[in-house]
Every structure is written in C-alpha cells, then in structure tokens.
Amino acid sequence: MKPVERERLDADVLIVGAGPAGLACALRLAQLIETNRDAAAAAGLSAENIYVLEKAREVGAHQLSGAILDPRALRELLPEFEQTAVAGVSDTPVSEDAVYFLTERRAWKFPVTPPPLRNHGHYVVSLNRLAKWLAERVEQAGINLFTQFAGAELIWNHTGIAGVLTEDKGLDKNGRPKPNYTPGYELRARVTVLAEGPRGSLTKTLVQRYGLDGVNPQVYGLGIKELWEVPAGRIRPGFVAHTMGWPLGTRLYGGGWIYGLQQNRVSLGLVVALEYPDPQFDPHAAFQKFKTHPFVRRLLEGGRLVRYGAKTLPYGGWYSMPRPYVDGGLIIGDSASLLNAQRLKGIHIGMKSGMLAAETIFEALCAGDTSAKALSVFQKKIEQSWIREELWPVRNFHQAFHGGLWSGLLHSALQMLTGGRGLRDPWRTRPGHEAYHRLDGQRSPTARFKGDGRLTFDRLTDVYHSGTRHEEDQPCHLIVADLNLCGTRCTIEYGNPCEYFCPAAVYEMTKERGERRLKINASNCVHCKTCDIMDPYEIITWVPPEGGGGPNYEGM
C-alpha cells in the first residue's frame, strides 16, 4: 500500500486533551510567555505555536465529573476568578456536607463528616462548564485549540516522542477512503504533553513502550452519573452527600454521591472500583438500584432525567504514578494518576500538574533542551509542591479497602496516624481484571435490568440521554484482538463480562447459525474506557474514533 501523504505542522508545545489538566497547562504557558516576553522571544516561543487537541465535538463535551471543586489550583492560575467569574465556574458553593451509610431500607448519617469528605470552601461545579470557561481563556490568549481532532498515534523518536498523528477522517467501515477522506496530520512538537484523562490511549502505549509504570499498576473506578431536575424544595443548592454501603455492600469499593445544584438540579451517581470479583456484575444496574433507595427515591420522584454519562477515574494514587517524563514528552492529570482517591478529587491536582508541566516546559524551551533529563524537573516540581503533600499521606488509601469497607476504614485510620504508612507500605495491587473469579460454565447469562422508565432506566435509554453520536460509517474504534475467543473461552470462563461492565450497551453477544459471536455497537460508546480496563484477557483496545464522535456531556 502506498504510504499516506500527511500534512505536517510544527508546534512548540502540543497538548493532547482539553480537560482541566491540559487547559491549565496551556493557560499557564500563555501566562509565562506573556510575562517573560524577552525570554520567550529569544527562544522563539509564541502562544500561536501551542496547540491543544481535543477529540470531542466541543470542549467539555467529554467532561464528566461529580463535581466538587477544590479551588486551590484555580486560585493560583487565575487569582481573580472568585471575584470576577464564580458564576462562570461554579454552580454553587458547598453549604452542607453529610456522609451516609445505606442499608437496603435505611440511611444512617455519620455523626461527623470524616475530614477528607469535608468540603467547606469548595464549589459544586459542572466540569463541562468549567472546561468551556477555561477554554475561552485559552483561546483568548492566542493558543490554537482544535476540537474534533484526536491524537491517534505517537510519533516516536529513538528515546521519546516527537508529536502525534491525528486520526484519519473519512474512512468507511472497512477502512477505505470515502470522497471526503482527509488523512491525519503529522503534528510535531518540541514537547508533547499527554493530558488524556484516565486510561489515555496514547499514554498507554507510551507507558508500555518505555516501561514507565510506577510501583503499582493503575487501578480504576467507573463513575456513572445522572443529572436530574426535581420538583422545587427537594434539595438545597450546595447540599453534598456521599454514601457507602448498599447497593454495593461492604465488599465492593465505591459509593454514591448526591449534590444539590441551582435551579432544582441534582447531580447524582455511583462510583465502583473496577476490581470486583463477579464478572457479571453490572455497574449500571447497581446505579439504577441506588436510585430506588428510599433516601434517593424521595428526592427524585416526580423529577426528570436531564443527562446521563459514565467515565472512569484512576484510583491508584501516588504508587501508580508512571514516570511522567520522556524525551520530548510529559504526562499530566489523570493520565499520570494525579487524583486523590480518598477525597474523590482530581480536578485541582490535574490543573496543578498542568501548571507545573507548563513551568517545566517553559524553562526547557528557553534553555533549548527538551530531553528527558531536562523534563525530569517536572517530577521534582511535583514532589516539592502541595500535590505530594496531598497524595503522599494517602498513598495506600485505596489499597487498604482490598478486604472490604470495615477493614478499609480501620486501615485508613491507622494510615492517618502514621502519615500514610499503615501496616503495609507500599501496599501492592494487581490490575483490576485479575480480580475476576472464573465462572467455568457455572452460570448462564443473567437477566438484564429494565427500569421503570421514570426513576430507573435501561442502558439504551440512558445512552440516549448522553447525547452520544458517532459517524456510523467508520472503522470500529474498539479493537478486539481475537474475536474467536469471545463466544468460546470467554463465554465459559467468564460469562462475557463485556456485556455487563459496559455502561453504554456497546457489547452484545449474538447467536449466528448456532454460534455465539460478539457484536460491537461502537456508536453507543461514551468513551469511558472500561472495556480497555476490564476485559479479562486484555484483548480490547480502545482507540479514538473519528474526531467529534462520542458523548455530549452538556452541563455534566
């Protein structure tokens, strides 16, 4: 085959992903160029030569979060935001915190809210809105922000990376060019920053190729969220509740959240660690069940679903942090495991990591040295910043819940007393899919959750409310290395977990002439990447589809 002719563009800095981490990195770079004009001019740096790529149709469309914002990083980045722009950033300040333990019928309120879940001085936000607000500032600063373009492949140089190829557009489902075929660009940059969020598709190849894994492999949680509008008077704006226990019980790690927003809106959801033993566990159904608890039902009844979505988050913390630098490249935000699992917060840490990356890059470019050695300063900056102060004491937090909720709470109390060390340090983990128990043909497919259509929904109804859309005629972006395994070995050994873990009903086992075959409804994909994480044989690879495809998380 003839090699594709690609147009080439050269940037100073290329940031892949316009989440809070990537946008904060871009904005901080623009600030540094602006305040150090002479140095920037001498090094030939300009804001126009900084590119940000985002695969979503517009910035924020793939942003889904709780979300409670700890404004620490945003205050450092844009000190005036609380005076001038709270309305653009925040829905409402947190007014009241509570933690509940749920049994099937009852809700027990913790007499005191544990300190890590206290949110006084924080804001309830829509990350979708926050990202849009930041993006406006990034564009005003002259940076080139390209939505509907994904980083599809890394451009390698012998010891690091030199940029990315963007995805080819206009290929049909067999990979043949359509009349509007547009080959991807060859985007080269002096420094490429991977800010892809959890389980980044480029980050994954980079970490694998150079063996950048930290002490532990990364482990993940899957968050399923719905945004509701409820009858007036049900919930105060700024009311923040977290729940433990039912429906997950005390063996599975995870919990629910309920946040009161302005205009009778409620953000609610359930996060489940992707390391559960039952391969037919269905996180979406668990969330639907959560809503039937009297405590939640009372709140929602008579209201209506506005949006739905699902996204993963990295739970591994400090010990799962990959080495975040290579020649010509940095990894920031969730992609670099920079999230506090104890506080369920990553926005502020992601942003701070982006700002530190920007400072590292600016110095490196001014010195004309973007080698791994020069960029390793980034790690030092993290270690000297409040990121380490926040993450180091909780380095064993998530691992402590390995034996369930009660022993987890004990261990984490012990860790709190010992500066995070606890009884085991470092506490090792395994990749989540290794937690599956084999079924060995002992179970047939379980009945699927249907929902009542008012309070609870099946997955297709929910996917409709995620605004997900893809060009239908394009190559499948969920690459299964061995389709023969699905209907044979996987059916027997694990009962096809893909049919259960996917919160968007992408994977479906069908019968064709008596043979079980996997059907992939790729157009439903909400880009959560659970399949890439939780398939038991690690044969599913998530790659970005044609830019612009995916969910539309307006207001999430």
Ligand X SMILES: Cc1cc2nc3c(=O)[nH]c(=O)nc-3n(C[C@H](O)[C@H](O)[C@H](O)COP(=O)(O)OP(=O)(O)OC[C@H]3O[C@@H](n4cnc5c(N)ncnc54)[C@H](O)[C@@H]3O)c2cc1C
Q: Which residues bind another protein (CB under 8 A)?
A: 7, 9, 48, 57-58, 61, 144, 146, 148-149, 166, 169-170, 178-180, 182, 185, 187, 304, 306-307, 464-465, 467-469, 552, 554-555
Q: Which does 170 bind (CB under 5 to 8 A by kind): ligand X, another protein, none?
A: another protein
Instruction: State in angstroms the smallest separation of the CB of 282 from another protein.
Output: 23
Q: Which does 465 bind (CB under 5 to 8 A by kind): ligand X, another protein, none?
A: another protein
Q: 167 or 282: whose CB is closer to another protein?
A: 167
Q: 496 or 552: whose CB is closer to ligand X?
A: 552
Q: 176 or 443: whose CB is closer to another protein?
A: 176
Q: 63 or 530: whose CB is closer to ligand X?
A: 63
Locate tokens 């972006």: which residue? Answer: 477
DSSP string, 474-498: S--SEEES-THHIIIIIHHHH--TH
The length of the chain, given as a count of residues: 556
Q: Which does 339 bind (CB under 5 to 8 A by kind): ligand X, another protein, none?
A: ligand X
Query: What is the spatial distance between Cα 119 and Cα 115, in angstroms, rounded to a whole number?
Result: 9
Angle in degrees, CA 328, 331, 336, rounded to 5: 160
Q: Which does 126 bind (CB under 5 to 8 A by kind): another protein, ligand X, none?
A: none
Q: 179 or 211: whose CB is closer to another protein?
A: 179
Instruction: State in angstroms the smallest separation of the CB of 242 from ligand X.
Output: 10
Please give the single-letter amino acid code of residue 462. D
Q: Which does 212 bind (CB under 5 to 8 A by kind): ligand X, another protein, none?
A: none
Instruction: State in angstroms the smallest separation of the CB of 84 from ligand X.
Output: 22
Contact 156, 164 (CB under 8 A): no
Residues that bind ligand X (CB under 6 A): 16-22, 53-56, 62-69, 127, 150-151, 195-197, 200-202, 223, 225, 269, 271, 311, 313, 333-335, 339, 344-348, 350, 544
Q: 68 or 261: whose CB is closer to ligand X?
A: 68
Q: Which does 68 bind (CB under 5 to 8 A by kind): another protein, ligand X, none?
A: ligand X
Q: Which does 7 bind (CB under 5 to 8 A by kind): ligand X, another protein, none?
A: another protein
Q: Which token pair is 389?
A: 């102060």
Query: What is the spatial distance between Cα 286 and Cα 293, in angstroms, rounded to a whole number?
Result: 11
Q: Which does 242 bind (CB under 5 to 8 A by kind): another protein, ligand X, none?
A: none
Q: Which of 72, 145, 117 is nearest to 352 (CA)?
A: 72
DSSP 8-class letter at 317: G
Instruction: State in angstroms the smallest separation of the CB of 91 from ligand X.
Output: 12
Please give the single-letter amino acid code of residue 444. S
Contact 184, 151 (CB under 8 A): no
Instruction: State in angstroms the smallest separation of the CB of 70 from another protein.
Output: 26
First-residue to last-residue Cα distance in the chain: 44
Q: Which does 416 bind (CB under 5 to 8 A by kind): ligand X, another protein, none?
A: none
Q: 408 or 503: whose CB is closer to ligand X?
A: 503
Instruction: State in angstroms the smallest separation of the CB of 272 from ligand X.
Output: 10
228 membership: H or E segment, kind and range: strand 220-229
Q: 50 or 274: whose CB is closer to another protein?
A: 50
Q: 293 or 345: whose CB is closer to ligand X?
A: 345
Instruction: State in angstroms the smallest separation of the CB of 307 from another protein.
Output: 7
Query: What is the spatial distance between Cα 342 and Cα 358, in angstroms, rounded to a whole number?
Result: 27
Query: What is the spatial distance between Cα 329 and Cα 326, in angstroms, rounded to a whole number?
Result: 5
Contact 265, 300 (CB under 8 A): no
Instruction: State in angstroms the smallest separation of the CB of 187 from ligand X.
Output: 11
Secondary structure string (H, E, C) spanning 39-87:
HHHHCCCCHHHEEEEECCCCCCCCCCCCCEECCHHHHHHCCCHHHHCHH
Q: 76 or 471: whose CB is closer to another protein?
A: 471
Q: Which of 124, 190, 143 is nearest to 23 (CA)?
A: 143
Q: 141 or 349: whose CB is closer to ligand X?
A: 349
Q: Which does 16 bind (CB under 5 to 8 A by kind): another protein, ligand X, none?
A: ligand X
Query: What is the spatial distance between Cα 362 and Cα 26, in angstroms, rounded to a whole number?
Result: 11
Q: Which does 169 bind (CB under 5 to 8 A by kind): another protein, ligand X, none?
A: another protein
Instruction: State in angstroms the smallest separation of the CB of 153 from ligand X.
Output: 9
Q: How many other CB atoms sit within 10 Å of the CB of residue 489?
A: 13
Contact 367, 374 (CB under 8 A): yes
Instruction: State in angstroms the smallest separation of the CB of 146 from another protein.
Output: 6
Instruction: State in angstroms the smallest separation of the CB of 166 from ligand X.
Output: 8
Q: 173 or 304: whose CB is closer to another protein?
A: 304
Q: Which does 464 bind (CB under 5 to 8 A by kind): ligand X, another protein, none?
A: another protein
Query: What is the spatial distance between Cα 62 and Cα 149, in angstroms, rounded to a whole number?
Result: 13
Query: What is the spatial distance between Cα 128 and Cα 243, in angstroms, rounded to a whole number?
Result: 24
Instruction: State in angstroms the smallest separation of the CB of 56 from another protein.
Output: 11
Please give the single-letter amino acid code of residue 540. I
Locate tokens 């945003």: which residue? Answer: 74
Burial environment of residue 205 by CB neighbours within 10 A (0 to 12, 13 to 18, 19 or more): middle
Query: What is the spatial distance between Cα 71 and Cα 77, in angstroms, rounded to a whole number?
Result: 10
